[in-house]
Amino acid sequence: MAGGYTGVAQTQMLALIELFDGKVPDSEVHHHLAVIIADTNRWNEAHGYFSEVRRRLIASDDRVGQLQYSFAEDCLKTVFNETPTDAPFDSISPFWVVPAALALATELDIPLEHVADCVTASQGTATARFKRFWRR
């Protein structure tokens, strides 16, 4: 896992992904998002996968699916911006992760306190919790 701000953001996004696991309509996107977020060596893939998620968002007519894709997009933009790139997404991308998570949680009837628990997750507690997303 990454250290500093990046590690904390990674931990918090993984906690949110775990919170939504099994509740979102597109399990393929959900799993692939988790795999990318969990492995800093794969963060450079986030830009390309963002394009796939955006395609699905545009094609979706399902409110929960649209919120899932919006959340995924914000996470992907956040981690991609932490890679060495000459073409980053907007620098404010990380600030949209939590509002997107709150909107998705509301639509899924997940208590907002659970989102708060995720975004206050510390890096130290996450190592064992998210190993299932790391490459074996």
- Read off the pLDDT of residues 98-132 as tens digits, 9 standing for 90 and up: 999 999 999 999 999 999 989 887 655 544 454 44
pTM summary value: 0.87
**The pLDDT value given to residue 122:** 66
Q: What is the pLDDT of residue 2?
A: 54
What mean pLDDT is predicted for residues 5-15? 86
Q: What is the pLDDT of residue 34?
A: 97
CA dist., res. 82 & res. 47, Å (int): 11
Q: What is the torsional sign of CA 124, 50, 70, 57?
A: negative
- For residues 71-81, give the mean pLDDT: 96
**Residue 51 clears pLDDT 60, i.e. is over it:** yes
Average pLDDT value for residue range 87-94:
89
Domains in the chain: boundaries: 4-133
pLDDT of residue 136: 34
Give the span between the Cα atoms of 132 and 113, in whole angstroms: 24
Give pLDDT, residue 66.
Answer: 98
H/E stretch holding 121 reads none
User: How confident is the model at residue 72, as a pLDDT?
Assistant: 98
Q: Identify the burial level of 44 via C-beta atoms within 10 angstroms of its C-beta, where 0-12 means exposed, 13-18 middle and 19 or more buried.
A: middle
